[in-house]
Amino acid sequence: MKELKINKRDKKIVKVREVEFSSDKCVVIAGPCTVESEEIIFESASKLSKMGVDILRGGCFKPRTSPYSFQGLEKEGIKYLYEAGKKYNMPLVSEVITLEQLDFALEYLDIIQIGTRNMYNYPLLKELGSIDKPVLLKRAFSATYEEWLLAAEYIVSNGNENVILCERGIRTFENSLRNTLDISAVPYMKTKTNLPIIVDPSHASGYREFIKSLSYAAIAAGADGLMIEVHPEPENALCDGRQSIRLDEFEEMMISMKKLSAVVKDL
């Protein structure tokens, strides 16, 4: 592959307010799949901030496979997310799926998420090159490492060096789980670029009982962060409830993840 601008990028760290995506710490992003109501996002933010979660997530413009599924609260959801983040002092990440949504979202969010279905949306990627906020770029579920790196290159070469890569599982012949977590993406990306790389075990597996093991695997592989779906009542979630962890269970996981990160750091 031709020498890319992402490789010449001199910064090793992406900073979001006080949170740094660097190799020193595994940044934790957590929250519900979707901002379903003001109450749910406030309850989530209140509990997650106390657990030491670094960044709050919550989808508002949802790219659903079925047009009949809940499509998200859109602008209203972004406002609830913003208010919750303000009250509990948490930076925010949420997905944008069209160019038109970008200006509005930039007023409220700290990180713009580009989902798996939009990794190939080149006009959107180019526009993200001119914003002054970090972009969380998810890997398309069938993208090669090269295609994913070139998608990041669209953003960096257009002027925005603050890109965070996110491995969220790919499609393979295995269909017992929602996707297959490609853990090799973590060390591979570290040999190719100094962009931070995080892992989303929730969409990678689709089932909450696997999230803990996959999160540990990501930490052991050297991931710079994790993005995990949690919900106060997963059984009633409007989206991705089966892969969402209850807040109390997540609290225990946070403690063990901190312990593991400390061990891995000393290796």
Residues at the site binding Mn ion, with contacts judged by CB under 5 A: 33, 240
Q: Which is nearer to ligand PEP, 59 or 77 (CB)?
A: 59
Question: What tokens does 36 get?
Answer: 């379903």
Chain position carrying tokens 């009250």: 87
Minimum CB distance to Mn ion, residue 244 (Å): 8
Minimum CB distance to ligand PEP, residue 88 (Å): 20
Q: Which is nearer to ligand PEP, 115 or 234 (CB)?
A: 115
Question: What tokens does 55 get?
Answer: 């960044």
Rounded-to-integer distance, Cα 234 and Cα 76, Å: 22
Q: Which is nearer to ligand PEP, 95 or 110 (CB)?
A: 95
Minimum CB distance to ligand PEP, residue 10 (Å): 29
Site string for ligand PEP, 93-132 (x = CB under 6 A): --x-------------------xx----------------
Q: Quick one: which of 204, 209, 217, 257 has its CA closest to 234?
A: 209
Report phi then psi at 28, rounded to 5. Answer: -110, 125
Asked whether 211 and 202 are in contact (CB, 8 A), the reply is: yes
245 beta partners: 230
Q: How many residues bind ligand PEP (CB under 6 A)?
A: 8
Q: Which is nearer to ligand PEP, 69 or 256 (CB)?
A: 69
Contacts for 146-152 with beta carbons within 8 Å, 24 or more apart? 146/1, 147/119, 147/120, 148/119, 149/1, 149/4, 149/6, 149/189, 149/192, 149/193, 150/4, 151/119, 151/120, 151/125, 152/6, 152/193, 152/195
116 interacts with, out of Mn ion, ligand PEP, none, CB within 5 to 8 A per kind: ligand PEP
Should residue 72 be labelled a site residue for ligand PEP when binding is judged by CB under 6 A?
no
Should residue 33 be labelled a site residue for ligand PEP when binding is judged by CB under 6 A?
yes
Binding site for ligand PEP (CB under 6 A): 33, 59, 95, 115-116, 138, 168, 203
